[in-house]
Amino acid sequence: MPIKIIATADLHLGKSSADVSAEVTSTKFTWNVLVNRAIEEDVDIFALCGDIIDRNNKYFEAIGPLQAGIDHLRENGITVFLVSGNHDFDVLPQVVRKYTGDEGVKLLGKNGVWEIAVYSKAGQTIQVAGWSFPSQYFNESPLLNFPSTAIDPNFPVIGLLHGDIEDKTSRYAPFKLNELLRAPVDLWVLGHIHKPGNYSAGKPMVWYTGSPHALSAKEPGLHGPILFTIDGNNVAGERLFLSPVRYETLEIDVTGTEDEAQVRDRIRDSLEKDATVREELDNVSFLVYQLKIVGEHAKIREVEYWASRVTDLEIHADRNVLVKIRKVDFFLRPLLDDLKELSGQASPAGILAGTILAINEGRNTDFLDKLLLQWRQRMAALNDAGVYLPLAGEERLVDQQENNGKAYLERECNRLLGELRNQLR
C-alpha cells in the first residue's frame, strides 16, 4: 500500500495577506484548510519544513491553532514530521514540547544535527531525514554533515530541509543543488523560498513547497502544499492549490482610448476577461492585481489620473472570487509620429526624445549618465534615511540597479515629453 504525504513550509502562522482583509486572508485559516485536506486525502504523514510560525512575537498567536491542528491530525492517525527554519528555530521546539515522547509528532534535527526517523505502514518502510536551524542564522551548508552512512539503502529516504539553494552568500543555510543530488535521498522537500519550484524531476526529486498561503504581491501565482505518493521506490508529487489569496500582474494597453470613460471601460473589460480565463480559482477568495498601464497616448497625465482611481474597483468574478486592485503602474509613451526626428531638435522636447531613444537602444549619453547618477544618489539617501529603517528590516528599501533607474527615467521622460507636446498643441 502506498504512503501518502502532504508537505508544506513557510506558513508564517500569525500573518495575513497584504491588501485584503477578511478571515480567509489569515494564515490561521489556511492552516485549518491544510489540516482538513490532509484528513480528506487520507494521508499518512504531514511534513512541515520550517518557518511555520512567524518570528517570536507571534508565538502566543500561533501556538493555539498549531497545536489544535496537530492534535486533529493525530486523532486521525496522521504522523507529523517537522523541521524548524530561521523564523521559528527557537519557538517551534517550544510548541511541540507537549508532544515529547509521542512517536506521532517528531521535530527532526534539533540543534543543527541531522536526524533520521523510520516510518512503516502495511509492510512499506520509509526513512525521513531532517535538519533544523540551531539559530536564526547559519552560514554553512547543512549537507556538509549529512549522515549518508546512517541511511539504510533498502528503504526510500525523504529529506526535510529549510534553506537557500545556490546562494553561497546567504546567511540561511546555503546549499547547492549538486549536494542534494549526491546525497542518498529519493525526495527532497525544501522550505525557505516562498516561490514554489521543482528543481529536479528525476532521482532524487527536489521540490521547494513554496508558501501555501500567498502573503503579498511578492508571491504571485498559484500556492499550496504538495501531495506526495510513495509506492515502493516510485515517488510522485502533485501540487494542491489551496491559497485563498492570489496575486497577479496584468498589462493593459490603453492605446486608442480618447476619454475617461473609454479608459475606464478598457481597464474593467480587461480585468473581467483575465479573471474569467484564470485557471485554478476554485479555492481562491481574493484575486489581487497589480496593473501595468501601457501604450501610446496624447494625454498621459489625464490617463494617469483617470486610471489611478481604479484601486477602488471591486469585481465579483466567477466562482465567487472578489477581484481587487492593489497598485497601478504607468508605462505610457507620448503619441508621436517620429521620435527620432524630434530627438534631433535642440529643445527640451528633443533632449527628452533623445534620452528615451538612448534607453530603448541600450546606449548611454552624457545627459542620461548624469540623470542616472542623480537617481542613484537619491535612492541611496532614501535607503539610509532613518525614518525608513523599521520598514526596511534586513533588505534594502530600494533596489539601486541601473536597469531600475533607466526604467524610472524612461517613464518620467515620456511623461514630461507628453506634457510638452500637449502645451505646444
Query: Are residues 318 and 176 both part of a single domain?
Result: no
Q: Is residue 177 part of a domain?
A: yes
Among 314, 335, 356, the domain boundary falls at 335
Q: Is residue 340 part of a domain?
A: no
**pLDDT tier at 207, thresholds 50, 70, 90:** very high
Out of 110-124, 181-195, 318-332, 395-409, pick the least confident: 395-409
**pLDDT tier at 399, thresholds 50, 70, 90:** low
**pLDDT tier at 392, thresholds 50, 70, 90:** very low
**pLDDT tier at 18, thresholds 50, 70, 90:** very high
Query: Are residues 309 and 380 both part of a single domain?
Result: no
Q: Tell me whether strands 226-231 and 234-239 are parallel, antiparallel or unpaired.
A: antiparallel
Query: Are residues 161 and 179 both part of a single domain?
Result: yes
Predicted model pTM: 0.84
Q: Is residue 75 part of a domain?
A: yes
Residue 397 has pLDDT above 60, yes or no: no
Q: What is the pLDDT of residues 211-242, one digit of tens each?
A: 999 999 999 999 999 999 999 889 999 999 99
Domain count for the chain, please give it.
3
**pLDDT tier at 424, thresholds 50, 70, 90:** low
For 77, half-sphere exposure in the C-beta direction (CA atoms, 13 angstrom radius) is: 9
Out of 20-29, 388-397, 400-409, pick the least confident: 388-397
- Arithmetic mean of pLDDT over the chain: 90
In eight-state DSSP terms, residue 369 is: H
Query: Are residues 182 and 325 both part of a single domain?
Result: no
Query: Are residues 85 and 226 both part of a single domain?
Result: yes
The Cβ of residue 334 has, within 10 Å, a number of other Cβ atoms equal to 25
pLDDT-above-70 percentage for the chain:
92
Residue 337 has pLDDT above 70, yes or no: no
Domain hosting 77: range is 3-239
Q: What does the block give as the cell for 157?
A: 529516504
Query: Are residues 364 and 393 both part of a single domain?
Result: yes
Q: Which residues are CB-contacts of 357 (< 8 A; sequence separation ≥ 6)?
A: 339, 340, 343, 363
Side by side, the strands of the sheet bearing 157-162 are 115-121, 124-130, 157-162, 187-191, 205-208, 197-200
E strands in 15-156: 45-49, 79-83, 105-107, 115-121, 124-130
pLDDT attached to residue 35: 98
Here the CATH number for the domain that contains residue 108 is 3.60.21.10
Alpha carbons 269 and 273: distance in angstroms, whole number? 6
Could you give the 3-state DSSP secondary structure of residue 208?
Answer: strand
- Whether 95 and 67 have beta carbons less than 8 Å apart is answered as yes
Query: Are residues 72 and 206 both part of a single domain?
Result: yes
Query: Are residues 186 and 223 both part of a single domain?
Result: yes
Q: Tell me whether strands 286-297 and 321-334 are parallel, antiparallel or unpaired.
A: parallel
- For 295-315, what is the mean pLDDT? 89
pLDDT-above-90 percentage for the chain:
64
Q: What is the pLDDT of residues 80-123, one digit of tens each?
A: 999 999 999 999 998 898 898 898 999 999 999 999 999 999 88
Q: Which residues of 228-258 are buried (b: 16+ CB within 10 A; e: fewer)?
A: bebeeeebebebbbbbbbbbbebebbbeebe
The residue whose grid cell reads 518570528 is: 55
User: How many whole angstroms from its chain centre is CA 229?
Assistant: 25
Q: Is residue 341 part of a domain?
A: no
Residue 138 has pLDDT above 60, yes or no: yes
**pLDDT tier at 391, thresholds 50, 70, 90:** very low
Query: Are residues 309 and 362 both part of a single domain?
Result: no
- Whether 78 and 44 have beta carbons less than 8 Å apart is answered as yes
Query: Are residues 55 and 91 both part of a single domain?
Result: yes
Among 239, 265, 298, the domain boundary falls at 239
Q: Is residue 161 part of a domain?
A: yes
Q: Is residue 342 part of a domain?
A: no
Among 179, 214, 239, the domain boundary falls at 239
- Whether 332 and 369 have beta carbons less than 8 Å apart is answered as no
Query: Are residues 48 and 157 both part of a single domain?
Result: yes
Q: Helices 300-308 & 402-424, crossing angle to 10 degrees?
A: 110
Alpha carbons 410 and 353: distance in angstroms, whole number? 10
pLDDT attached to residue 344: 83
Query: Are residues 159 and 15 both part of a single domain?
Result: yes
Q: Is residue 343 part of a domain?
A: no
Peptide bond into 204 cis (omega under 30): yes
